[in-house]
Amino acid sequence: MTTPQPLSRPSIEDFPQELLEAICEHIFDAGTPSLNPSLDPLVGGARSAPTAFPNSFPPSAWTDHSVRKTLSSLCVVNKAWHFAAKPRLWRRLEVRLPRSWLCLVDELAGGTDREAEAEQTALVVGKSLQDAQNAALAARSIFVKDTNKDAVEKLHSDIMAHLDGSVPPELLSAPASRDPSPWRLRDKSKSPTRWRLLKSISDAVQNVMSLEEPGIYVPPVYDPRPGRFVRHIDFNHFRTIGMRRSVEEGVSSRFVTAERLEFILKEAPKLITFGATEYMDGALNLAVIKELFLRGSASLPGRGRGARSRFDAVSEEDIEERERRGVCMELEAVDFTGCISAVFVNALTEFVNTFLIAPNEAEADDEESRGRYARFVEEPMTFPSLQRLCLRGAKSIPSHILNHFVLALPSLTHLDLSATRVTPEVLATLGSSGRMHLHSLSLAKCIRLTGESICNFLIDSPATTDLKELNLYGDSTFFTPFTAAELRNLVQRAPCFTKGELEYLDISGTPLSPAILEVFPKQLKLRSLGLSFMPFLPLDAIAKFLRTKALQVEVLTLISTSPDLGYGPGAGIVTHRQASTALHSKIIRPLSTTPFSFSLDSSGLSSKAPTNLRVVELAAPMLSGLGAGAGSWRIIRSKGGRGWYVDTASGWCAGELKRDLKDHPWRDELQKLSDANGNVASGVGWHARKMEVLYGHGMFGREDGLYGAVSFAYQG
């Protein structure tokens, strides 16, 4: 009688590839913030997974460094893990250092030497064609044993016939016979990009096999370049400061050049989000702008704009560029925060004049302009796939160019035009759009807008009916252009106010009064409220509004607000001690303190504070007057000029807002931020001033780098 052998435990090599890919996908998703955020900065390590959302501690998402480290470690386990983790490792690219950018260009595009790149592409095409042919023979040998020389030659000829000119003939010749190089032979047109060549080969082989041996699957040709995995590129962390470069070197020897950036974009056919900053906006020339926006259906004639082409005559190069861009994915989100260089403005101006302005709207006085606009045939181009746009601080873009650019985006859900030259005309036109349904809108410090235009847009437009985040921030340098009557009319009639669905609202710098607060609709979902720069608004009115109409508010801004804190009529009269006493007695203690209760039954201890208030933003002089704080309330300063008075004993834990936390890691982390006295990361803060658009989290998005500084560090 034989002894039964114990069952062997399966090793990791026995797992199917689909399971490995699912594991890597979960790791990548762990770095994506929750759509139901806790409003708190990401501090501390991911010691354990959150049990519910929102969650302050453990953080609701891993840090980007943790995700990249985990995926890169999996890439070196074995080949199966490498193929599963590599696409997720390259899906999101954040350019940080100049040298890493140069390495990225070399890895994705093989450098910027066109002749050397053409030679290398020819070698890769030849090897890929041979590999694909061998894979097809191996797959067919399972059913057909005869693989003689004639069968190999026939398969090769069939594959070449199915390529049908999609691969240039000079790239299919032997490397030794190509003299001069293919680049010199094709001086009037450009060879297709590497990923498109390899896709053509894979499609041709699969078509041949489906005709000869239906049902046989041939694996696609392997491309060592990772450009096809890239979905996200941003320069949020890119800096050249501190490299000890002279001014001449900074001008003549740039790291991020238009040529390098264009090569990267051409090698990323699945790119859907792109973020730029003022540190590299000199690379955003017309070629880069066209590469960003003329992708997918926007590059094909007649799609979405009628059956006719936009241009009468195009060159062979234009046709090839259209075909190449036609198979690329269209952008969904673009962030041009702070891009004000002349290169970018001129490129966007030319792009708008060429593609977005109808000839009867353009002034074509000279012969060159008439020739350019004569090519226009159909109505102006639109980009229906672009859903999120941020142009915050792009003050150099002319008003008419900005208006036409924004109006070409009919499917926007997130729009940030803060500190731009947007005019009332664009709001009026957007208001009549039947396709646009905005979820988040920011019009802070737009000097050309009027209170009437904003009111009409928010009251009458169907595009703003379902708004959940609204930023109308103004400060002492530019108060929002509302009269008291317009503001009262707005809060009483605008659907975004009357529905009570707002979660983020900033109306700082408006003539808000206790009378307007009395008629203000209830905002039971409001979590972050900006009431700064209102020197005549008393604290009692604010406390009454929060206690009766906005119970869920967690973050409140009171910079330069209220005579009780020494502003307006109280300027020069109220001392720092009196202001501190008024803040605690009228705001903090009545709204955030759990009522005292005594009961022998433990269930009697479940009473809650009147509201969820736990963070109050104050001006720097007021924060200095608070000293070290009182009780569990501490001062946390940003990397810039902003600061907050924070209840360190309150936070979201397991989907519930808890107060009076004792010996809790979240309280320790907040205490560390308080002790840092402003020496913190740029992403530390509450109540963002900039909209996050690349991931679609709006005004609740968590950003660091330059975007984080604009959101949480800069005062205005």
Q: Flag whether pLDDT at 201 surpasses 80.
A: no
Give 472-529 as a DSSP string: ----SSS--S--HHHHHHHHHH-HHHHTT--SEEE-TTS---HHHHHHPPP-TT--EE
Q: Flag whether pLDDT at 211 surpasses 80.
A: no
Which residues have C-beta within 8 Å of that of residue 270, sequence separation ≥ 6? 228, 229, 230, 231, 328, 329
Residue 695 pLDDT: 93
Tens digit of each residue's pLDDT (9 = 90 or more) over 163-184: 655 555 555 554 444 444 443 3
Rounded distance, CA 545 to CA 92, Å? Answer: 43
Residue 313 pLDDT: 42
Share of the chain above pLDDT 90, in %: 56
Structural tokens at position 48: 């354990």
Contact 463, 437 (CB under 8 A): yes
Residue 377 pLDDT: 43
Q: Is 446 exposed, middle or buried (0-12, 13-18, 19+ CB in 10 A)?
A: buried
What residues does 549 pair with on adjacent strands? none
Report the range of poorest mean pLDDT among 184-188, 243-247, 632-636. Answer: 184-188
Please state, rounded to an integer, the average pLDDT across all residues of the chain.
83
Rounded distance, CA 15 to CA 80, Å? Answer: 9
Q: Is 254 exposed, middle or buried (0-12, 13-18, 19+ CB in 10 A)?
A: middle
What residues does 471 pair with on adjacent strands? 442, 506
Q: Where are the domains of the chain?
A: 14-89, 91-110+228-411, 115-224, 527-591+607-716
Task: Report the predicted TM-score, pTM, of the whole model to 2 decimal places.
Answer: 0.86
Tens digit of each residue's pLDDT (9 = 90 or more) over 553-604: 999 999 999 999 999 887 888 899 999 999 999 999 999 998 766 555 544 4
